[in-house]
Structure 1
Amino acid sequence: MSTEIQVQPNKMIVSSSPHMFDNTSIPKIMWTVVLALIPAVIFAIYHFGIPALQTLTTGSISAVVFEAVAQKVLRKPITIKDGSAFLCGLLMAMTLPPAVPLFVPIVGSFIAIVVAKHSMGGLGFNIFNPAHIGRAALMASWPVLMTTWTNVSTKVDTFTSATPLNILKQQGYDELIHLFGSQQQMYKSLFFGLRNGSIGETSVLLLLIGGLVLIYKKYVDWVVPVSMIGTVAVLTWIFGPHGLFTGDPLFHIMAGGLMIGAFFMATDMVTTPITRKGKVIFAAGCGLITVLIRLVGGYPEGVCYSILLMNSVTPLIDRFIQPVRYGRK
């Protein structure tokens, strides 16, 4: 640990590191991420209607309540104003189908906050992304509810109640294009969010804008989303439906939860590696596992499980990928 020595007349003051300060704080970061998600949230409510609003509200508020209760029981200072619990509940709710029964986001928030976060020591000590732990537990408990995609929108006419990744997995790429009408129409629907899926599988455009805001604010390292999305793009182009190098990487980039996962989940400061090289390895691993699950596995989507699996490898990455010590080459 370095020290700083300040010499004053007849007095020497020694202070410990750090010696650099700025106005960034946990509440500022958390609420900025929430604001970055607001455009996508508003569009999701417009697209899916009242059920999406109910699911998002229930998930966010219940997460805050569980945070306060857990800290009260553990006799810790109550820090619900820092926005971390609200953000966790919001992200967890955005991974759910819009019309799930309201007990589902409540249970998900409980698992995310109490089990995945506070059982490990609270903010800064959790090994796994709490929002995705909540979703994974819900998927294992109620797989039918978590994979029932009812078209509840009265605002936008979507083409089917199934998700694009579900159609790709069950019927193939050619049938997917046929249902959309054309490849260009499919790209348009995915980019602007005119399709079915989880609440967070909305407008790629709005999620991208929110992610770029976080990169601009330097709350997110751009190498993580670029590495994850780039890995998915390259691999899905190579391993296409009609042989090598016949894939559609643009579809896989915009389909499912890749955008929200790459910008808002895989960039979690607590559960990802410290060094930039470690972050690249982590993100590339997330992309690789996502493609394996999508193309080979039984589930149509693999973003959630890929991030959780790579979370478990983060300590190992940090152990072997370390920055050069000061003063050494």
Structure 2
Amino acid sequence: MTLRQQSSPHTRGARSTARVMLWVMLATLPGLVAQTVFFGWGNLINVMWCIALAIGAEAAVLRLRQRPLGFYLSDNTAALTGLLLGLALPPFTPWWVSAVAVISAIVMAKQLYGGLGSNPFNPAMVGYALVLISFPVAMTTNWAAPAGLLNGTPGFVETLGIISMGQQTAIDAYTMATPLDVYKHEIGALVADEVRQHPSFGDGIAKGWEWVNLAFLAGGLALLYLKVITWHIPVSVLATLAMTSLAFGSNQDLYAPLSLHMLAGATMLGAFFIATDPVSAATSHQGKLVYGAGIGLLLYIIRTWGSYPDAVAFAVLLMNFAVPLIDHYTPPRTYGHRKPRRGIAHKSSK
């Protein structure tokens, strides 16, 4: 009898990559619904456009690489990349800016490295950072005002026209700076109570933004409950961001308060859905804690003293650079050993 020889692991679980990616996509739905309710149809349109474009870009590259389309497209990773970009980009982002972000993410950050499992950087954040640097005006002036402010919120058809035609005059009628941006640029001349009089703060922490972040938090907790992700990275990101904010930002007349760091911008989306990318993140539990702490620290540093009011993309990409070093010094203990063999001591013992 001939036995089929295969490399380890020999056990197989019920969770395929496609199913895990689908669960992650479903977990983002509360956040997408909250974005649509409070900021209009822009993010929903971006999500549909970015997903379609991501699948198309991946199919084109797979065809050039002579890979089976059905096998690779069915893992849902391209669709998830498009979804995350659609959620992260400003609601009124012109279609061509979204296209550059998606194509860069799929082609440059994923397929040119060999596809799923070979990319050292988070593809969605590569695409986002590229367009943020290349199109700073489009990426900073197209944030939708919360529903009920300014001239209201445009309907689906009008929003589609703004995104597809790039009608800057129409965009200006519905846009507003984000709360993090307002606080960062006005706190130097005003005190905290005066800054909070800006309409973007509403009667709460950051009008609309707190509910969007709470919705993404709910989706992230669902992923933890389903054991799709572990707690190490999101808890480490949020705990480090909170501790750093409490340590350096206790004076709200100088720095953004903890509540704004936690419930404004892309904090919860970044902590639960972006930083936890299984390919580009650290692998061991100890490494994940270090990786998440680095992201949380960089988030605060860039938000407070950097040029950008939000910093999820740059924080994640910078820590992606550090992942090989983190994994090298934080391997798990192997069976039969009391301590993990790591770093210089491990090399010198060979």
Answer yes or no: same fold by TM over 0.5: yes
> What percentage of aligned pairs have identical amino acids?
36
Amino acid at match of 2:83: L
Native 8 Å contact 1:239 1:245 kept in 2: no
Which of 27, 33, 37 does residue 28 from structure 2 map onto?
37
Match of 1:82 in 2: 75
**Structure 1 residue 67 corresponds to structure 2 residue 76:** no
For residue 163 of structure 1, what is the aligned residue in structure 2? Answer: 178
Residue 215 of structure 1: how far off its partner (Å): 0.7
Aligned to 2:114: 121
Which residue of 2 is the match for residue 100 of structure 1? 93
Correspondent of 1:131 among 124, 131, 137: 124
Q: Given the alignment of the two structures, is residue 208 of structure 1 paired with residue 217 of structure 2, yes or no?
A: yes
Query: Match for residue 40 of structure 2?
Result: 49
Q: CA deviation at 1:183?
A: 9.2
Alpha-carbon deviation of 1:294? 0.9
Tell me if the contact between 2:234 and 2:292 (Cα under 8 Å) persists in the aligned partners: yes
> Post-superposition shift, 1:297?
1.1
Alignment match, 1:178:
197
- Counterpart of 2:43, as a letter, is A
Aligned equivalents of 2:39, 2:104: Cα separation in 1: 25
Does the CA contact (< 8 Å) of 1:239 and 1:247 recur in 2?
Answer: no
Is the CA contact (8 Å cut-off) linking 1:275 and 1:322 kept in structure 2? Answer: yes
Counterparts of 1:118 and 1:216, CA distance in 2: 32
Aligned amino acid, residue 20 of structure 2: I
Give the Cα–Cα distance (whole angstroms) in 2 for the partners of residues 246 and 149 of structure 1.
25
51-60 or 242-251, larger mean C-alpha shift: 242-251
Paired letter, 2:224:
I
SS of residue paired to 1:82: coil
Offset from partner CA, 1:213-234 (integer Å, 9 cap, x none):
1111111111111110111111
* Candidates 282, 295, 299, aligned match of 1:286: 295
Measured on the aligned residues, the alpha-carbon RMSD in Å equals 2.6
The question of 1:302 aligning with 2:307 is answered no
Distance, in Å, in 1 between the alignment partners of 2:104 and 2:2 is: 53
Change (3 A) 1:322 1:247: same
Q: CA 1:247 to 1:49, structure 2 compared with 1: closer, same or farther past 3 Å? A: closer
CA offset at residue 47 of structure 1? 2.9
Distance in 1, Cα, partners of 2:140 & 2:227: 35
Structure 2: which amino acid aligns with 1:94?
A: L
List runs of 5+ in structure 2 lacking aligned partners: 153-174, 339-350
The answer as to whether partners of 2:143 and 2:178 remain within 8 angstroms in 1 is no
Structure 1 residue 245 displacement after superposition:
11
The correspondence of residues 132-281 of structure 1 with structure 2, limited to 5 A, is: 132-151=125-144, 155-157=147-149, 161-172=176-187, 173-179=192-198, 185-186=204-205, 189-192=208-211, 203-240=212-249, 242=251, 248-281=257-290
Aligned amino acid, residue 97 of structure 2? V
Displacement, 1:209?
1.1
Q: Distance in 2 between matches of 1:13 and 1:108?
A: 44
2:135 maps to a residue whose letter is W
Alpha-carbon distance in structure 1 between the residues aligned to 2:93 and 2:216:
22
Give distance in 1, aligned partners of 2:304 and 2:118. Answer: 34
* Residue 26 (structure 2) pairs with residue 26 (structure 1): no
Number of equivalenced pairs? 309
Distance change in 2, residues 1:238/1:244 (3 Å):
farther
Aligned AA for 1:284?
A
Q: Deviations over 1:111-155 (max 9, x none)?
A: 0000000000000100000000000110111100000035366x5
| Alignment of 1:315 onto 2:306 | no
| 1:136 match: secondary structure | helix
| Closer, same or farther: CA 244–156 of 1 in aligned 2, 3 Å | closer
Give the whole-Å Cα distance in 2 for the aligned partners of 1:96 and 1:11.
54
Deviation for aligned residue 1:184:
6.4
Distance 2:49 2:206 in 1: 32
CA distance in structure 2 between the partners assigned to 1:234 and 1:93 by the alignment: 30
Say if 1:73 and 1:303 are closer, same or farther in 2 by CA, change over 3 A.
Answer: same
